[in-house]
Chains A and B, each alone.
Chain A
Amino acid sequence: RKEVEQDPGPFNVPEGATVAFNCTYSNSASQSFFWYRQDCRKEPKLLMSVYSSGNEDGRFTAQLNRASQYISLLIRDSKLSDSATYLCAVSTSGTYKYIFGTGTRLKVLA
């Protein structure tokens, strides 16, 4: 089983739709969680950290479910510019390592 798993997609959604991605992790000792956005042929850019109580940044909401070992990203009112690959990342305190999922591709259609 991979340490971090994501549905590769693509998720094709119309503009204005709400879309959600999940990311499962296998190490129960994982403590830090992140969502990154990667545009084609560009570096990943931090979208948001994921906190235990859940957090929101504009149209984006991230949640953590420790019991089921997954994090989620919800995008409301999708824009064409949201089209990208979304990577989740997990880190365990003291290991210095970040484990990335392979990404979920989102296409927002006009």
Chain B
Amino acid sequence: SQTIHQWPATLVQPVGSPLSLECTVEGTSNPNLYWYRQAAGRGLQLLFYSVGIGQISSEVPQNLSASRPQDRQFILSSKKLLLSDSGFYLCAWSAWGKTQETQYFGPGTRLLVL
């Protein structure tokens, strides 16, 4: 079966510090991978998605970047965090089910920028 890992679970960082969040998927190959952010009490905002190694599509211009160095690894980074970067960061992967492609989420990283 497929599983998705994210770490760390919780992170507190000062403004201006760098960020690196990692996501790995097991049990599948060539998945589509996604990074979302969910601010407190708000909906899911798609940040980046990737359909293959080295292929990154950015949805919202901001001070974050993403990379996919390996098939099942997706990394979210920032050189300098802003207060507004606080939120719940969710990695997801998608796969074909019976009749349609379906998305599954990792456990998330809760980031607080102070």
Interface positions of A (Cβ within 8 A of B): 31-32, 34, 41-46, 49, 51, 87, 89, 91, 96-103
Contact = CB atoms under 8 A, between A and B. Distances in A.
Interface string B86-102: 00101010100101111
* Minimum-distance CB pairs A-B, first 8: A102-B43, A43-B105, A100-B44, A32-B100, A43-B108, A98-B103, A44-B105, A43-B107
Given A34-B102, A43-B105, A45-B105, 20 more contacts: A31-B100, A32-B101, A41-B110, A42-B107, A43-B90, A43-B106, A44-B105, A49-B99, A49-B100, A87-B43, A91-B100, A96-B32, A96-B51, A96-B57, A98-B46, A98-B94, A98-B103, A100-B43, A102-B42, A102-B43
**Interface residues of chain B: helix, strand, loop or mixed (majority):** strand
Contacts of B99: 49, 51
